[in-house]
Amino acid sequence: MAFRYPLQSVLRLKQSLERQEEQRLFTIAARVARLRAAIEQLEDSRLAAQRVVSQEMIRGSWGAVVQFAAACDAAAAEAEGPLRAELADAERQRLEQLSVYKNARQKREIFEGLRERQEERYDREAAHREQEQVDDTFLTRFRRDSAE
């Protein structure tokens, strides 16, 4: 008879819950990555605009060009603030979800460890029963051969 784990349905549930929490973690991590990329892109465009303004100032541009560049830089800085706040919130959510995921994984590992120990015990007992049968068969033949 094959090994049957009585808590197999609970183990499957724990595995499913762990996968769900892992998917949530991946979703939040992707959001964090998108926000970081957006902030980096915004910073890159601000730096590029600042380089252009510096070159224009060297050439002796009009004050209106410099004033327009300053207004654009201020607008970019203003747009960066909410992105950074959203990134901080997403990072907090990611850390919370990481904790939830680790907890779900730990619970699944407990049930898997219990299953492995029960299966090992079942295998040892099966090997012991098989050895007893072999021994009984040997003794029966030995006694029969001795009696003849």
- Tell me the per-residue pLDDT of 73-119, one tens digit each, with 9 for 90 and over: 888 888 899 999 999 999 999 999 999 999 999 999 999 999 999 99
Q: Which helix (H) or strand (E) holds 7?
A: none
Q: What is the pLDDT of residue 72?
A: 79
Rounded Cα distance, 39 and 48, in Å:
14
Query: Residue ranges of the domains in the chain?
Result: 14-105
pLDDT of residue 127: 94
* Orientation angle between helical segments 8-59 and 63-147, nearest 10 degrees: 160
Give start and end residues of each alpha helix (H) in the chain: 8-59, 63-147
Mean of pLDDT over the chain: 90
